[in-house]
Structure 1
Amino acid sequence: MTSRVTLVSPATSPSLRQARFYDGGSIDGIGAARARTAAGSLPSPARMVTSPGVRCRETAAALGLDAVPVPELAGLDVGRWRSRTLQEVGAAEPEAVGHWLTDPGWAEHGGESVRDMCERIGRWLDTAQDTDGRTVAVVEPEVIRAAVVGALGLSASVFWRLDVPPLTATELSGRAGRWNLRLGRPLAAPEED
């Protein structure tokens, strides 16, 4: 049995445009319009899931997906940094940001470490591989990074070196504990027949 997982990054939001740690806000009008235009461009899934965050749920809805929020697919918990910009945190806690970006086990911001998140998403991927058919998941960019790390058996130290643009699809296919990867396909309007 070959399992297929398509991971879709959310549309643009004010927090993304401001390099702000996700604050639970909505996608913006441009992002919503682009997602609606791309509706129908994804392969037909057996299952549709989403990160529980508002921007992922809104992106899924704009794409025409009746996706179920899955708590295990939540974005990275950044503790006390939530809702602050990276510039603000870097100015107030430069050493902490340095540790966070270079040590996957660091979590002194009071949230989750990158390593812990990669392990959490890796466990979800294991369960996804045990199911038949395609799963489409609209998830936070860091969930996609963690999935790539887990699928390829990479060190969590590469996490921050993986860029995930808005409204792109990263596709995993695999069986027997092995995944193949297709990175960052931009979602586009479906072609007319």
Structure 2
Amino acid sequence: MTRALPSGIGLMPVRRPDDHRPRLDRLSAVPITDLARRFSAATPTSARDLDRLDGDLMLRGFAPVGTGVLRRILSRPSFFWMGKSFRRVDDELIAGHNFFTALGGSRGLPFAATIGPSVVDGRPAVRIDYGDPRLAGPRLTRRLYDELREIEPGLWLGPGFLRIGQRRVTVCWFAVDSSVGYGEVR
């Protein structure tokens, strides 16, 4: 029998991230093509790197080229998608979820994270799978898939994909930063 992974939904409250986010702010100004280049240039990820993905990490999203308005909305510190939470399950697996400002702070969109070949270049990356069979979730969210690599100590960057048939189509880029602290509870 396959063990179910925790969803994170019962974990509350969502703490408010500090406003000081210089590394995420700098990445907001970088063209998408440079984000892709930084991801590909990063050191391939190994299972021992998963230890550095722990707890609630502040997130910033970046829209693809040609969507200036969407990119400005996604890169705003006040955007409703605040971060990703990671919790080590064993040597090879992290259970996680996303957290949002909605409803005063909420958690959802559970995922399973493992190390494996990247869709982008085939080299090892953290693979964040919302369709893992150990997770419950709506059919649409099970089509989501993300990847991450550490581009600076504690700063992880990667693409977000939508599964369409057998293909994975890049819908955004995002970064999570472990150096952003947290203040009061939302």
Q: TM-score, normalised by structure 1?
A: 0.27
Q: Which has the higher contact order (CA 8 A, sep 6+)?
A: 1
Answer 1 or 2: which has greater helix percent.
1
- Structure having the higher Rg: 1
